[in-house]
Structure 1
Amino acid sequence: MRVLITGGSGGIGRALVDRLASEGHEITFTYCRNQAPAAEVANRTGAEPVHYDDSSIDSLAALTACVRGGAFDGLVNNAAQVWRRQLLLKTDIETFLAYQVAALRGVFALSTAFAEEVKRRQTPGAIVNVLSSVTLGIPPAKLTPYVTSKYALLGLTRSMAVEFVRYGVRVNAVSPGMTRTDFNAELPERFIEQLEAGLPMERLATPAEIAAVIRFLLSSDASYLTGANLPVAGGQSC
């Protein structure tokens, strides 16, 4: 299986590169600013790193061309989206719309290019979009632009699942809860403990646990699954 993973130099993406490469799959992953970690991942796993800045139209066009010519069997849209807490009444329209563009533009371009390529080759393919546990239950306050963007991505996931199935493309999503990654490493331990206490499983996820679910969705074991949003959040959605 040949897979393209956006955001593969750290966290969940890195764990997924590790998992798939260890099984002998051919992996291409993107990175933005983390050149040194990307090189380490590439050297350790044999995966191919590609620079991608999702805020750049030219960078997106180059990666889209890579998808069209790459003969990929799977696409994982995992590029991280930075967020900050702010009251909605303190948020301007430009900021709100910027979140939507950041969440949707790259996923739309890469996924449609992937589906077109699968259609042309007449071989099955799978797309997995990495969302967030904010799509599960009551959303957190002061994150409205981010929450809205994730729900929009969920809508795009389900619509693509309906339209792309005729081409042999399955489209699913995962919604991870808070995960122990470098991105979250600087959060106060007391805050982490409070989060864990509120979960039925009483702990945060590891990146490898999220990667295992994504790997399942990419595989033929999930051949009758499309349009799903799998919660991987320690029981948060119960």
Structure 2
Amino acid sequence: MAIEVLHLDAACDNSVHEVLFEKIANDLLEKGYSITPTGLPLELVDAIQTDIAQLGHTEFSPAAIGRHDDTSLNKFVRTDSICWIEGEMPGCAAWNAWMEELKLYLNRRLYLGLFAFESHVAQYQPGNFYKRHVDAFRGGNNRVLSVVSYFNSGWNPDDGGELVLYKDDEDMVGIKVTPAAGTLVIFLSEEFPHEVLPANRTRHSIAGWFRQIPGSDHLLELPDSAGSPI
């Protein structure tokens, strides 16, 4: 299948996105997470929205919980549907390229040893949710950084569907992130429990994970101040 090359012009040139990448790196060092409204280049948001609009319902499958051979459907935990990104559509190919640049920057800046990235489009119909969970277990040396981005234009507070990011297992308040188009969230996969609240309209996002080189000991340690309420 031929892939159209999508060129992200001024909004995604080096001078612009490296400012964002540096902000993300500093945020990760200081508190372990980074939240940037309108963080994604507009051209990239538009291209991915076009790709999503072209996906039929048959492209999405009910999301499972667990990893590898130990997966199962659990409607008490999550009710969204997902479509894994393989880069065969223009917007998704550009997304993978943008994540590759972010990976290279964070490896230079933070010495994380990131080597692979995987992601999927998630579709939440009205009432869908994903209960509180973590993306990686401590010591598993698998998912290191979690990435979430949103592609919902004209999202209003009454639409719900917020991501809630918690600072630790004891935090019952967390910080709510509105799933508005272009918002970019990145956090340490082992450190932050999170959940997706039910939405009142169809909601689209991309969730992705950077993995480390097997056996890597490049772990980003949070400063003591990162334990303060978020």
TM value normalised by structure 2:
0.27
TM value normalised by structure 1:
0.26
Higher strand share: 2
Task: Specify which structure has the bigger relative contact order, considering alpha-carbon pairs within 8 angstroms and separated by 6 or more residues.
Answer: 2
